[in-house]
Structure 1
């Protein structure tokens, strides 16, 4: 008998197809630009609900956040920082500019929470804690 057995031919074809697919996925991921994350954050904010906010320190708050499509977090730690991209305040719906002081969900490791790009303006959070604003 000449040639390869059928099993070796199948494995060879699958292996070649896997490399083509992996290469296409890699090329597509390299074309993705960073601003696309901002678009995801903008569209996803429309359905989120913040039920409670509790101050822990001057720079951290506990937020109970939920969304019908992205899940819910009870007593999630949010930390103060500066907005890295434009966005929308999850509490008030106001526009967030790059460089504004905001609170964002805190996370460690590679697995970011589904609301990782959500932000709350610090000025809005201060008004909320003073009783001038009701959470959405």
Structure 2
């Protein structure tokens, strides 16, 4: 072997290091985001089980036959003054946020309209019979 050194391009070496550092940073950011999503999901689950002494929910309008405008006030976490809810079918059992009555899977309900970011009461439900007693618009 002669005394010839293998040359490494400094630019390629720098790009390689930056790529490795970026991958590690992105992995940490994804982990942080996942942890935040888990906390938000737990908080939404807590919000969806209203303590009737604390949470005040009322249907304030019926703009269409399949939507309702709801006022939701939870002093522990949030307030929605004119949240749009839509008619749906319960995918899981729960409790009506207005009456406290049980809701079974397959019951006609109203739930908050899907949007991004999800509202804290995203999986709350109101029995359709209660909403439909409110006169339309």
For structure 2, list consecutive stretches of 5 or more residues without a partner in the other structure.
1-21
CA offset at residue 22 of structure 1? Answer: 7.8
For structure 1, list consecutive stretches of 5 or more residues without a partner in the other structure.
1-14, 131-136
Structure 1 runs of 4+ aligned residues shifted over 6 Å read: 17-26, 39-42
Do 1:60 and 1:77's aligned partners in 2 also have CA atoms closer than 8 Å?
Answer: yes
- Counterpart of 2:8 in structure 1 is none
Aligned CA RMSD, in angstroms, stands at: 3.7
In 2: Cα distance, 1:124 partner to 1:54 partner? 12
Alpha-carbon spacing, 1:24–1:60, altered in 2? closer, same or farther (3 Å): closer
Greater RCO between the two (CA within 8 Å, min separation 6)?
2
**Residue-pair matches, total:** 117
Alpha-carbon spacing, 1:78–1:24, altered in 2? closer, same or farther (3 Å): closer
Do 2:69 and 2:84's aligned partners in 1 also have CA atoms closer than 8 Å?
Answer: yes
Q: TM-score, normalised by structure 2?
A: 0.61
1:105 to 103, 112, 118: 112
Q: Equivalences for 1:67-106 in 2 at 5 Å?
A: 67-106=74-113
CA offset at residue 126 of structure 1? Answer: 2.7
